[in-house]
Structure 1
């Protein structure tokens, strides 16, 4: 009888301990919920020690207003393969993805720098699925890609740059360096560019004053002229002291060019800039090439007409330096 009573007491004590533990655990859990509900309608279910610390951010201005971006972004996707990609690479920033111009003439000017970086579609049709899979913390693009802005912003902070009204590679470099906290590298990059410019001017000397230069732009089956405010190659030629014809030197923006106006764009050296893959075919078949006005041009008669692909391939500090090196062959007289 005594043993039975002792057994009952032990069982009761054991059950009491379990009950007390349950109450304590319940109270503790309720207290945790209450802490999580302070100033929020979301219940915290993960211990604070396991929650990822918030990333430091800053507000930057861009073509569509303002965006809050990481202070030091680590996974940048660029909807571009030239005007934004080039200065990023010059700043020693390697994006995790970039877009390419599907219909543009291919260039390998930056190939050594982008090896292994996946493409996320082309400029006009970026793949949101591919961008999302790369888990970017910042997306950079052009103002003319604004139709994708809301979708891109849902993936990561998105900054769009105005390359419609002005294309200034130095200004673009400084802007990107500023928002990405790399301003300390700008002086060195531009100093290297300026040194190349000075060397070019010194080596060619008076030759630069003896040859006039004109540039026209072939787009599809039409001819346009673009001012240096819209072309990086035009800006570099001005810096290099190349003698541009007044019509090109003073041009702002762009306009179409008729066959009758070609004589106004004649020069000792005429560059025909092509952009699209189909342009090289049009260059051979355009009717104006067979007309007397074309044959009468001084550059044509002296066989100083050159088809080049500068529109998309000369875009930032890296390709600007390559472009300067390439210019020598057009001005140095064959020995």
Structure 2
């Protein structure tokens, strides 16, 4: 009897041992299936840009964005940002980034290096306003310069967006958003070509007027949207070419596009609003005024945050909607 119990006991013991071995043999399968994902998140990529190149891991987690156009693109793509330039005027459509949960990394032209360094960011995105601070920022974390080239706006804009797609694995979503913008631009082009109308773009700043032509800051209206300039000889300068009401009356554009800097300048006197400056006795003699074709553009998109998926799409849609072809 004891022998039978011993045999039975040994049989049960062997069964338990065999099951345990089987379980141990199966265990490596779980990490093996996760290996490709782990490799992907730790993949290092090199991004070349105008100021140099940045080496960083794909899908960086702690992100600082000084450029509002890049910020609106990251937000559109569902990518969380940690640090924002809250000391400058954040556009209303990005108002959520004023929240205290986002680190204030300074102003657009005055980065707070101490705060940025304390964050230990994985990547920093900058554009033209922060170019002088590039070297210092790049010492803190890989810093990528994503500015828009006004002479080839859409080409450089698309390159920037595709760069974001590569960094965050959002290539398909970027392509989808770019296709929507392309469609809006195509519609404007077709209508502009058919109309044969021309236009003048002016910035109003505290009662002063500056004109912008093809290849300029707001040149997307001519170069990309296809609306002919009333004056092809406007000098391409960062702050535009200084002009007068007499100049606008003399050129007599079919459309007058107006960017009001006062909208984004909290200190500007209300008495120098764009409408009060523009709609004077001289400019009232133009075709643009007489036909109701003075278009006051949304300065938050055009002045503060151009070059973003949201802002660029909104700029094209605004012209498509507001212009009476």
TM-score, normalised via structure 2 length:
0.66
**Matched residues in 2 for 1:271 and 1:136: separation?**
40
Q: Secondary structure at the match of 1:122?
A: coil
Larger radius of gyration: 1
Computed over aligned residues only, the root mean square deviation of the Cα atoms, in angstroms, reads 3.9
Of the three residues 213, 216, 232, the one matched with 2:202 is 216
Structure 2 match to 1:177: 165
1:66 corresponds to 2:53: yes
Structure 1 residue 172 displacement after superposition: 2.3
Instruction: Tell whether the 8 Å contact from 2:199 to 2:256 is kept in structure 1 after alignment.
Output: yes
Structure 1 residue 217 displacement after superposition: 1.5
- Give CA deviations for 1:100-150 in whole Å, capped at 9, x if unaligned: 472x5x532234688653432210112223323333111111244233233
Against the structure 1 CA distance between its residues 283 and 299, is the aligned structure 2 distance closer, same or farther, given a 3 Å change threshold? farther
The number of aligned residues is 274
**Matched residues in 2 for 1:306 and 1:101: separation?**
30
Against the structure 1 CA distance between its residues 143 and 179, is the aligned structure 2 distance closer, same or farther, given a 3 Å change threshold? farther
Q: Secondary structure at the match of 1:109?
A: helix
1:330 corresponds to 2:319: no
Of the three residues 195, 198, 209, the one matched with 2:183 is 195
Of the three residues 92, 99, 109, the one matched with 1:108 is 92
Structure 2 match to 1:160: 145
Give structure 1 stretches of 5+ with no counterpart: 1-52
The more displaced of 57-66 and 133-142 is 57-66
Structure 1 residue 266 displacement after superposition: 2.9
Against the structure 1 CA distance between its residues 305 and 101, is the aligned structure 2 distance closer, same or farther, given a 3 Å change threshold? farther
Instruction: Tell whether the 8 Å contact from 2:213 to 2:222 is kept in structure 1 after alignment.
Output: no
Instruction: Tell whether the 8 Å contact from 1:79 to 1:140 is kept in structure 2 after alignment.
Output: yes
Q: Secondary structure at the match of 1:229?
A: coil
Instruction: Tell whether the 8 Å contact from 2:84 to 2:104 is kept in structure 1 after alignment.
Output: yes
- Give CA deviations for 1:221-274 in whole Å, capped at 9, x if unaligned: 53223345344x642675555x33342698755541322432354323312212
TM-score, normalised via structure 1 length:
0.65
1:294 corresponds to 2:279: no
